[in-house]
A and B are shown apart, each in its own frame.
Chain A
């Protein structure tokens, strides 16, 4: 049976919702509406006035090869960040779930990275892999890898993917661990008695039962890779070398605040909103069907 709280006072429920609604309106709906409006304007070079240009900002963007390239960069970046952070998190969660001694220590250590600010994480990874002074770059060179994220786009991409994924592992780990612990032990035991080995149990029982968690994390991680990785990109590569790590959200910033093309920047952020909205709808529509709740 569904339990519902009933309020005697008719106003109270609305009052209780007000803070959250206010925050959403002030920090989301208002700027979103502003962006929508801005995206239809073309400011003059000195920022003194703006002309209403309908959709020419959008038209221009879709003819811009740099912008289209940024889509591909974002797709590659998001795919690898999500894949890496989720699979490592799952691996760690499965291992931590089996640990008996020092359980608390392992969990704490695995959750810690989440407390590091993205920019700080970016700087830290940058130092470690800086070709001339980085500790890890030194060993990579010793191992014969020609490591050069400052000039090599693939190397730069690898580095930002690693940093962004590393940051998100903790978050995913926490959810996967909770998901694993919610699976009744007796199911695993029943499968063991039914003759399933470790890997088979994981594949046929544990992983399917984790699917609600996995699905949730998939949505969260893609949104993370799209938006919240700004700090990492900004501190590590500034979108370079060339355009090789300029993901969409970074391009919004670079074009708007560095390039001072506010109209285009606003148009890009509108497109980004639509893209994320669409991705989420697609995920719920098509992937959720395969999820066993």
Chain B
């Protein structure tokens, strides 16, 4: 078990910099999820920690030891790959024992460690099988078992669940979380799936285009997204973004129309702004004064919730698209004009130019 620390880590391919200086301190036993869209550099970052990619700039420390120039095997880490990377010609037992054999452990110790991991992952009946005779979920467990038996300083997960079907993914997500909690090994986990990220992480690193846009607990990332990118990436459906400017007691939209947001949230900002409102923070006005109205274009009924897609009434032409998440019991149909209010204290204000939270 160990801490991991990244100091201004950079990566170049030729003259192109793809990771623009990421710094991160991971506490002992912490579960960090690196999340971002494809191509944001999250896997590259993980592979640099693993030693599979060279580090162009900055330093990476594992357990207080700078590992920049160390081979993967000298870093005392274990990695779970997206395609599992099981050795197809070896039995499940041999797959898990491979690293231990190389480390020169005794036969008895190897047996004991593999058995322990197999019990934990419910793999005992399959130890003699070849990987191809296993289901996707079982293969995933073997890959985890292989990491587990080595008792490394840190686990690295590279999108380990993305090859599984939706139901299995939810189950394995839970198992990974439980496994990590019971062994308490520091973990870095890369995914593009925000639900996986939110549910697994002690802390999230939201990456975009080679930059860590925000590093915080899932709840803080959700409640106070640092940039418009984070705001749009975390949360589903994505946060509504409205372009406009503060105007007296409300928010004047660029596309025409106006939202009567409580002035204190906009106070002191007179430049172009983005107003972010999550769909789930909108409620039907009922007998309150509506802050704005939504002309509904389409309705998605999900059972528990109803999503009302539309445009702000009063916005001209192709005004911003807008989604509201209403209770499943709400009766809405296309063509309606819904009077809505924003739950107090839930609106987000961003600088329209830099995208930074204000």
Contact = CB atoms under 8 A, between A and B. Distances in A.
Nearest to B156: A193
B79 A200 contact: no
B78 interface: yes
A186 interface: yes
Contacts of B146: 190, 194
Contacts of B88: 209, 292
Contacts of A292: 88-89
Interface residues of B, number: 22
Interface in A170-209: 184, 186-187, 189-197, 200, 204-205, 208-209
Contacts of B81: 186, 189-190
Contact of B102 (A186, A190, A200): A200
Contacts of B79: 189-190, 193
A194 B98 contact: yes
A186 B156 CA distance: 14
B52 A195 contact: no
B85 interface: yes
A205 B77 contact: no
Given A193-B50, A195-B99, A200-B102, A184 B73 contact: no
B229 interface: no
A180 to B, nearest CB: 15
Interface string B55-85: 0000000000000000111000111011101
A196 B102 contact: yes
Contact of A192 (B73, B87, B89): B73
Contacts of B304: none
A192 B85 contact: no
Contacts of A184: 83, 85
A186 B43 CA distance: 13
Nearest to A208: B89
A95 B254 CA distance: 61
Nearest to A205: B87
B150 A209 contact: no
Chain B at the A interface: mostly helix, strand, loop or mixed?
loop
A194 B79 CA distance: 9
Chain A at the B interface: mostly helix, strand, loop or mixed?
helix
Interface string B91-113: 00000001100110000000000
B265 to A, nearest CB: 48
Contact of B98 (A189, A191, A197): A191
Given A186-B85, A189-B81, A194 B150 contact: yes
Nearest to B132: A293
A193 B73 CA distance: 5
Chain A: number of interface residues, binned into ranges: 10 to 19
A110 to B, nearest CB: 27
A192 B71 contact: yes
A192 B72 contact: yes
A287 to B, nearest CB: 15
A231 B238 CA distance: 73
B160 to A, nearest CB: 12
A186 B83 contact: yes
A40 to B, nearest CB: 49
A168 to B, nearest CB: 27
A193 to B, nearest CB: 5
A195 B50 CA distance: 12
Interface in A48-100: none
B89 A194 contact: no
A195 B102 CA distance: 6
Interface string A193-230: 11111001000110011010000000000000000000
B89 A209 contact: yes
A194 B102 contact: yes
B65 to A, nearest CB: 17
A208 B89 CA distance: 7
Nearest to A188: B85
B51 to A, nearest CB: 8
Contacts of B87: 187, 190-191, 205
B71 A194 contact: no
Contacts of B89: 208-209, 211, 292
Contacts of A205: 87
Contacts of B150: 194
B9 to A, nearest CB: 19
Nearest to A187: B85
A241 B156 CA distance: 65
A195 B103 contact: yes
B133 to A, nearest CB: 13
Nearest to B80: A190
B159 to A, nearest CB: 11
Contacts of B51: 192-193
Interface of B: 50-52, 71-73, 77-79, 81-83, 85, 87-89, 98-99, 102-103, 146, 150
Closest 5 CB pairs of A and B: A194-B99, A292-B89, A186-B85, A190-B85, A195-B73
Given A186-B82, A193-B78, 12 more contacts: A184-B83, A186-B81, A186-B83, A186-B85, A189-B72, A191-B98, A192-B52, A193-B72, A193-B79, A194-B146, A194-B150, A196-B73
